[in-house]
Amino acid sequence: MRLRMKKYKDLFKVETVEYKNRVKQEVMYTGDYYITDMPQKLMRKYKICLILISVFMAILFLYIGLLNNDGSRVLYVVMPYILQFLPISFMIISAASFYPKEKLTVVQYEKTFTRIRTTGTWILILSFASILGEVIFIIAGYGNTPKLELVFLVCNIIIAVFAIITLQIHSKIKFKTEQNNRNVNGQNV
């Protein structure tokens, strides 16, 4: 098995196993596990909430892009909005692939749980920057589409609220580290 990320190469060990007169190579996970004590129903509920919130953010993001307001032609308004695309995309991917099980490997933990917090934080920062730019644009009196500017502003506020809700859900899920029995003090047990 070829590992895609070099930072995870120390978490796996390739062992040669003899099975029915054949030699076979197996990849064994030797890294630590992240364990939660939460009930599975609650974990599934959080996963569904995270998926729905990220999909709603994506829908609002696309709707804002189709508004064609005057503020969308100004760099300090539109740049933070455009930069939200990647965090929202990664949020959907991470929420959809979040493993609602009791035991996660380091790779699963970082690719889903940690990434959800990171993308939620970036979405919040970028939506606040877009809100600030839009408020400056409205107060300065530029543009001829005040209703569309307000819709742009309100949609960005809703995206920021969704990001805050995501971070609150994330903070309710607690994991603790458990050492893998295959890797006690670097020795295979």
Least confident of 25-34, 46-55, 155-164: 25-34
Q: Which residue has the higher pLDDT, 41 or 10?
A: 41
Q: Is the pTM of this model over 0.85?
A: no
- State percent of the chain over pLDDT 90: 53
d(CA 119, CA 31): 25
Q: Indicate if the pLDDT at residue 11 is higher than 80.
A: no
d(CA 170, CA 145): 38
d(CA 48, CA 12): 31
- b/e for 6-19, b at 16 or more Cβ within 10 A? eebeebeeeeeeee
Q: Indicate if the pLDDT at residue 88 is higher than 90.
A: yes
Phi, psi of 188 (to 5 degrees): -85, 125
Q: Indicate if the pLDDT at residue 55 is higher than 90.
A: yes
Domain boundaries, the chain: 38-175
